[in-house]
Chains A and B, each alone.
Chain A
Amino acid sequence: MTALSTPVRCGATRFPGTVEPVIEVTELTKLYGRGNARRTAVDRLTFTVRPGHVTGFLGPNGAGKSTTLRLVLGLNDPTTGTVTVDGHTFRGRPRGLRHVGALLDAGDVHGGRTGRAHLRALARSNAVPAARVEEVLAEVGLTEAAGRRIGGYSLGMKQRLGIAGALLGDPPVLLFDEPLNGLDPEGVLWVRGLFRRLAAEGRTVFVSSHMMAEMEHTADRLVVIGRGRLIADESLTEFAARAGRAAVTVRAAEPDRLAAVLAAAGATVRPGPDGALAVTGLDATRIGELALEQRLLLHALTDRGASLEEAFMELTADSVEYLAGEPR
Chain B
Amino acid sequence: MTSTTANSTSTNSTATAHAMTARTEPRARFGDLLAAEWIKFWSLRSIPWVLGLSTLAVVAANLRSAQYTHDHSTPGDGDPVMMAQVALNAAFGLPSADILMLVGGTIGAIVIAGEYATGLIRTTLAAVPDRRAVLVAKACVLTAVMLGFGVLSVGVSFGATQAILSDVGIGQSLTDPAAFRYVAAAVLFGPVCALVGLGLGTLIRHSAGAVVGTVVVLFFVPSLVTERYRWTADLLHALPLPAWQRLARTTLAGQRPSEYPPTVAGSWITFAAWSLASVVIAAVVIRRRDH
Contacts and interface: CB of A to CB of B under 8 A. Distances in A.
Interface of A: 1-4, 8, 10, 13-18, 52, 70, 73-77, 90-98, 100, 102, 104-105, 107-114, 117-118, 120-122, 124-127, 162, 165, 170, 172, 200-202
Given A105-B122, A165-B127, 8 more contacts: A105-B119, A114-B43, A118-B43, A121-B37, A125-B124, A126-B127, A126-B128, A127-B28
Contacts of A102: 126
B79 interface: no
Interface of B: 3-4, 6-7, 9-10, 12-14, 16-18, 20-21, 23, 25-26, 28-29, 32-33, 35-37, 39-40, 43-46, 114-115, 118-130, 133-134, 290-291
If over half of A's interface residues share one DSSP class (helix, strand or loop), that class is named, otherwise mixed; here it is loop
A109 B129 contact: no
A94 B44 contact: no
Contact of A112 (B7, B35, B46, B290): B46
A52 B129 CA distance: 25
A92 B128 CA distance: 10
B46 to A, nearest CB: 7
Contacts of B128: 94-96, 125-126
A102 B129 CA distance: 13
B123 A165 contact: yes
A147 B119 CA distance: 21
22 contacts: A3-B4, A8-B7, A13-B10, A73-B125, A95-B128, A97-B127, A100-B126, A105-B119, A109-B118, A109-B120, A110-B120, A113-B44, A122-B124, A125-B32, A125-B134, A126-B32, A126-B127, A162-B123, A165-B127, A170-B23, A172-B21, A200-B9
A114 B43 CA distance: 8
Contacts of B45: 112
Nearest to B23: A170
B3 A172 contact: no
B127 A125 contact: yes
Contacts of A73: 125-126, 129
A10 B123 contact: no
Nearest to A52: B13
A108 B32 contact: no
A95 B118 contact: no
Most buried by A among B4, B7, B126, B130: B126
Contact of A201 (B4, B13, B28): B13
Nearest to A102: B126
B43 A113 contact: yes
A127 B29 contact: yes
A121 B13 contact: no
Contact of A94 (B28, B36, B119, B123): B28
Contacts of B37: 121
A10 B10 CA distance: 6
A170 B39 contact: no
Contacts of B124: 122, 125
B32 A94 contact: no
Given A8-B10, A117-B43, A124-B35, A95 B129 contact: yes
A1 B18 contact: no
Most buried by B among A1, A13, A14: A13
Contacts of B291: 70, 75-76
Contacts of A76: 290-291
Contact of A16 (B6, B13, B17): B17
B291 to A, nearest CB: 4
A111 B118 contact: yes
A121 B39 contact: yes
